[in-house]
Structure 1
Amino acid sequence: MKISRRFAGLAALLVAGLLGTTVHIVTTAESADAAQTSLRAADPSVLRVGGTYVGVQSVGDNGIAVRQASSPAGLATAAARTVFTDSQRLGEVWAPEIHYDGGRYYIYFTMGAGANHRMYVISSATADSGYGGATKLNLPDDRWAIDGTMFVFNGQRYFVWSGWAGTTNVEQNLYIAKMTSPTTATGSRAVISQPRESWERVVGNPFINEAPEAIKDPNGQLHVTYSANGSWSEQYCIADLRLRAGGDPMYVWDWYKSNGCLFGSNRSTMMAGWDPTLYVNGPGHHSFVLLNGDINTSPPAGSSFPLMFHAVAKGTPYAWSNRYWYTGSFMWWGAITYSRANVPGSTTNTGYSIKFFE
C-alpha cells in the first residue's frame, strides 16, 4: 500500500520527536499522493503567479512552449503554446527556466551544439505570448553553459548555472555570477560546487553537477539544490548546497554540501537518514513551485509546498525518452549537519536540509 504524503509527514513528525530533531513542516498533501503526470518530458520549470501555475518546456529540438493551469498536475493536459523557435538553427534548445521579475516573464535556456552551448533569455509581459528574439547572456568567461537560473538574495540578483571550467568536456561544475538586471551579468564567475564526492561520481564521463535551483530556508539561509551523476542513468539524484549564515554566495568555502543524495533511487548514494525512492528511478532536474518564482516567498503561506521533477517509473527502462514530469512535495528538516574535510573554514555546518516526497 502506498502511504499518502499526509501520513508520511505525520510519521516524520513522530520520528523527529523521538529523535529530538527540529523539524519545520512546510507541506502536507493537497491530494492523497504525488503522481506521474501524462507529460512525457524532462526538466520541469514551474512557478505560480496569483492562482495560475505556469510551466515551461522544450519542444522538439529547437522550441519552447508554455502551459498554464490551476494546479501543477493540470499543466500536463493544458494547451502548450510555442513562444520561441530557433529559426537560426543554432543547435539544441534545452532546459528552459521561467522566472517572473518586475512584472515580466523571463525564460532562460541553453541553445547551441557541442561546445557552443550558451545561455540565452527571452522576455514578455505575458506568460504564453509576446516574447521577442533571444538574447545571449554575457556570462563571465563565455564558456559552455546550461541549466541557468536567476534569483535575488539579500537584495542582490544572482545567476547560477552548470558549466565547464575550460573549453573541453571534463566535468560540469556549478558557477555563480552577480547580475545588474535579469538580462545582464556582471563581474567574474565563481565556482560553488564540483562533482568530487564519491556518491556524485558513480556515473560520469563527464562527472556532473547540473540543474541548480535556489531556495531559502526558514532561517533565511540560501540553498542551491542540484542534480548529480549522469542524467542518462538511474543514479541521477538531487543534492543540496547550504550557504552558512552570513556567508558570501560568491565564496566557495561558505557553501556546505549534503553528504549524499537527498532525493534518489539508490540507497548506496543517499545521505544517512534519507531513504531512496519507492516508485521512480533517477529523480532530478526539479522545480520548487514558488509564488512568482521568488525565493523570498519561500516557505510560502499555507500548508502545501509543491514540487515538480522528472523521473522514470520503476520497472521501465531508464532512458531519456521515458522521462515524465511528476508532482511531488517537500518539507524542511532541521538540525542537520553537513560535514567536509581538507578545506578552509569550519568542517561542519548545522541547519535545515530537505526531505523530498514522491
Structure 2
Amino acid sequence: MTKSRCVNNFSTMTKYLFLLLPLYFLACKSGDNGSGTTTPVAPVDTVGKFRNPLISPAPDPWVTYRDGFYYVMHTTGNNLRIYKTASMSRLGAARPVTVWTPPATGPNSRDIWAPELHHLNGKWYIYYAADNNGVDATHRMFVLENAAADPTTGTWTDRGQLNLPENRWAIDATVIQLNNQLFCAWSGWENDLGGSQQLYLCKLTNPYTAEGGRTRISSPELAWERQGFGVNEGPQFLVHANKVFVIYSASFCGTDQYALGQLAADTTASLTTASVWTKAQSPVFGPYASGTTYGVGHNSFFTSRDGRENWLLYHANAAPGQGCGDFRSARIQPFTWKTDGTPNFGTPVNLNDYLKRPSGE
C-alpha cells in the first residue's frame, strides 16, 4: 500500500495469508519504530553537491514550500512531526517538531500514516490516516487546522474525520485547489471487505468537508500494479501547462516492484468524471534501478528556491527484500518535462552518486 504499511513489518508471506481472509486484509503502512524518532543522516557534502538519503527512516515523505522554508513530514506511525529547512539538500540537519500526538484510544488513536501539510485559504492543514486502536479496517482520514504563519508554531485544532463519500476505508489523502475548486484524492477500498486498493477523487467545499460522491479514477488493473497484490495508493497532484497529473504508487510496498504510475487529464476537464483520466501503461519511475534503490514510491514534489528546477521527493530501500519497514529513507532528485508535456522522472539515483544541490541553495 502506499507508504508501507506494516507497523510490525509483516513479511510478504504473512500479507498473503491475510489476503485469504474473506472479510478484509490487514494493510500495513510502516514507519512506526516504536519511538517515533528518526535518525539524522550525517551530511555527505562536497562543494555544491550532496548525496542521498536525506533522512532515515522516513517512509511516505511529503514536502511543501512557503515564505522561504520547506516543511517536510513523513510516516512515524505514532505522531505527527514537521521538519523546517531553508535547504532541502540539508534536510538531515533539521530537527523535527512534534505538533500532535494521538489520543490513547478512539478512531484516530493508532497507525498514523502518510501525513500531508497544506496551506489553504490562509491556514495550515494536516491530513493524516489513522485507525481505531490498531484495527486496520477502521482506517479513515482526519484533519488538523492551524492559523499560525509557521506550522511548527501555533495551535493545531482538531477538525475531526474528513468524511469522504461512502465512508469506506481510506488512506493517503491529498488535496489540490484548481480552477477555484478544492479536490481530494485518496486510496480506498471499493467496499468494506478489503481487497485491492483503488484511487478515488471528490470535491471539497472547504479543507475539511467533502462534497458530492466519490469517483474511482484508477484501479490496479495492469500487471506491474499487482505485484504482491493489487495496489494503487499515495496519489499526488502535479500541474504543468494545461495538464493535471496524479502520480501514484502501485503494487504492494513489501515487494521490490513498488513503483510510480501516472494519470493525466486536462486542467479544464471535469476531474470527477472518470473518463477524463488517462493512465500510463508502464511505470513512470522505478520499480528499481540499482543496488541501493528498491521499492521506490510515495512521492511528492517541490521546486528549487529560485524556481528554476523541479524535484521529486520519494522513499526507497537500500537493499532488496527490505519491504514496508523502517529501512525506507527519504531521497530527492531533479526531474524535467518531455516534449509532450508529461514529466520525465528519469531513473532512481544510486546512493553512491553525488547530485548538484537544488539551484538557489
Normalising by structure 2, we get a TM-score of 0.76
Q: Name the SS of the counterpart of 2:143 in structure 1.
A: strand
Q: CA deviation at 1:355?
A: 2.2
Q: Which residue identity lines up with residue 209 of structure 1 in the other structure? A: N
Matching of residues 167-182 of structure 1 within 5 Å: 167-182=192-207
Structure 1: distance between partners of 2:86 and 2:267: 36
1:153 counterpart = 2:158: no
Q: Name the SS of the counterpart of 1:253 in structure 2.
A: helix
**Mean alpha-carbon deviation: is it higher for 38-47 or for 277-286?**
277-286
| Consecutive unaligned residues in structure 1, runs of 5 or more | 1-29, 267-275, 292-299, 336-350
1:282 counterpart = 2:303: no
Whether the 8 Å contact between 1:39 and 1:77 is mirrored in structure 2 is no
Once the two structures are superposed, residues 201-228 of structure 1 have per-residue CA deviations (whole angstroms, 9 ceiling, x without a partner) of: 1221xx10000000111x3211000000
Among 208, 211, 217, the alignment partner of 2:234 is 211
Structure 2: distance between partners of 1:257 and 1:192: 9
Structure 2: distance between partners of 1:76 and 1:231: 24
Distance 1:356-1:131 versus aligned 2 partners, 3 A rule: farther
Q: Which residue identity lines up with residue 100 of structure 1 in the other structure? A: H
1:42 counterpart = 2:54: no
1:233 counterpart = 2:255: yes
1:163 counterpart = 2:188: yes
Structure 1: distance between partners of 2:159 and 2:208: 11
**Mean alpha-carbon deviation: is it higher for 244-253 or for 207-216?**
244-253
1:223 counterpart = 2:261: no
Distance 1:314-1:324 versus aligned 2 partners, 3 A rule: same
**Structure 1 stretches of at least 4 aligned residues deviating more than 3 Å after TM superposition:** 30-34, 276-279, 314-319
Whether the 8 Å contact between 1:316 and 1:322 is mirrored in structure 2 is no
Matched residues, percent identical? Answer: 30
Write 1 or 2 for the structure with the bigger share of helix: 1
Distance 1:316-1:169 versus aligned 2 partners, 3 A rule: closer
Q: Which residue identity lines up with residue 75 of structure 1 in the other structure? A: L
Whether the 8 Å contact between 2:284 and 2:345 is mirrored in structure 1 is yes
Distance 1:229-1:316 versus aligned 2 partners, 3 A rule: closer
The aligned counterpart of 2:71 is 54
The aligned counterpart of 1:199 is 224
Structure 1: distance between partners of 2:92 and 2:50: 17
Structure 1: distance between partners of 2:114 and 2:249: 13
The aligned counterpart of 1:322 is 327
CA RMSD of aligned residues (A): 2.1
Structure 2: distance between partners of 1:157 and 1:290: 22
Q: Which residue identity lines up with residue 324 of structure 1 in the other structure? A: S
Structure 2: distance between partners of 1:166 and 1:115: 11
Structure 2: distance between partners of 1:31 and 1:312: 25
Matching of residues 254-265 of structure 1 within 5 Å: 254-265=276-287
Distance 1:356-1:155 versus aligned 2 partners, 3 A rule: farther
Matching of residues 1-358 of structure 1 within 5 Å: 31-32=48-49, 35-59=52-76, 61-89=77-105, 90-112=109-131, 113-124=135-146, 125=148, 126-129=150-153, 130-204=155-229, 207-217=230-240, 219-244=241-266, 246-266=268-288, 276=289, 279-289=292-302, 302-314=307-319, 317-335=322-340, 351-356=341-346, 358=349
Q: Name the SS of the counterpart of 2:269 in structure 1.
A: coil
Whether the 8 Å contact between 1:122 and 1:135 is mirrored in structure 2 is yes
| Consecutive unaligned residues in structure 2, runs of 5 or more | 1-46, 350-361
Q: Name the SS of the counterpart of 2:137 in structure 1.
A: helix
**Mean alpha-carbon deviation: is it higher for 83-92 or for 118-127?**
83-92
Q: Which residue identity lines up with residue 331 of structure 2 in the other structure? A: Y
Normalising by structure 1, we get a TM-score of 0.77
Q: Name the SS of the counterpart of 1:133 in structure 2.
A: strand
Structure 1: distance between partners of 2:222 and 2:280: 10
Structure 2: distance between partners of 1:223 and 1:135: 29
Structure 2: distance between partners of 1:245 and 1:38: 34
Whether the 8 Å contact between 1:34 and 1:328 is mirrored in structure 2 is no
Whether the 8 Å contact between 1:164 and 1:171 is mirrored in structure 2 is yes
Q: Which residue identity lines up with residue 234 of structure 1 in the other structure? A: D
Whether the 8 Å contact between 1:160 and 1:176 is mirrored in structure 2 is yes
Q: CA deviation at 1:331?
A: 1.2
Structure 2: distance between partners of 1:76 and 1:122: 26
Matched residues, number: 293
Q: Name the SS of the counterpart of 2:246 in structure 1.
A: strand
